[in-house]
């Protein structure tokens, strides 16, 4: 049977691979849609709004995977002092400094969407609505990104 370190490493690699694959697909779709919309002189307003909403999804997805990894770490390793080295491996693999840049990239992309929407809508009411929705999306991305995570412990049913 595999030891805890091996199980933790396998699970971590699985979640990392899944996360990076899905993120690449979503980021490529958002980038392609943004370039397409900027190059069209008569772009569909709904398409631009959909692009703006889609930009929020990768940040939520990344934050949920980050939470899942922290739960995995906490539940596999527990509070056993013998697992301090394994816990340090998890902390190294989370690339904490890269995490600060990840939501920032999508927040910057959101500004491009908001700018494009403001160019398409000329009514003052519509512009206020666009700015409000944009601010809400950015607040959601920041909230999901920096919310304290990994505090819960998975409940298990143990028969004694």
What is the tens place of the pLDDT at every residue in 49-105? 999 999 998 888 888 887 877 777 676 666 665 665 565 665 655 555 677 788 888
Q: Determine whether 103 is exposed, middle or buried from the number of CB atoms within 10 Å of its CB (0-12, 13-18, 19+).
A: buried
Which residues does 140 contact at the CB level (< 8 Å), separation at least 6? 56, 59, 60
The domains of the chain are located at 4-146
Q: Which tens digit of pLDDT belongs to each residue from 103-144? A: 888 999 999 999 999 999 989 999 999 999 999 999 998 888
Please give the backbone phi and psi of residue 4, each rounded to the nearest 5 degrees, phi first: -60, -40
Please give the pLDDT value at position 70: 72
């Amino acid at each position: 049977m595999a030891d805890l370190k091996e199980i933790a490493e396998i699970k971590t690699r699985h979640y990392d691979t899944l996360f990076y694959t899905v993120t690449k697909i979503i980021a490529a779709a958002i980038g392609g849609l943004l370039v397409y919309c900027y190059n069209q002189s008569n772009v569909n307003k709904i398409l631009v709004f959909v692009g703006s909403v889609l930009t929020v999804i990768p940040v939520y997805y990344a934050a949920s995977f980050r939470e899942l990894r922290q739960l995995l770490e906490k539940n596999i390793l527990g509070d056993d002092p013998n697992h301090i080295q394994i816990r340090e491996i998890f902390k190294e693999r989370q690339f904490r400094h890269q995490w600060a840049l990840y939501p920032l990239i999508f927040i910057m992309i959101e500004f491009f969407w908001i700018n494009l929407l403001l160019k398409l809508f000329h009514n003052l009411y519509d512009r206020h609505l666009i700015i409000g929705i944009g601010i809400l999306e950015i607040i959601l991305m920041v909230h999901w990104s920096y919310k304290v995570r990994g505090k819960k412990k998975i409940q298990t049913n143990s028969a004694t």
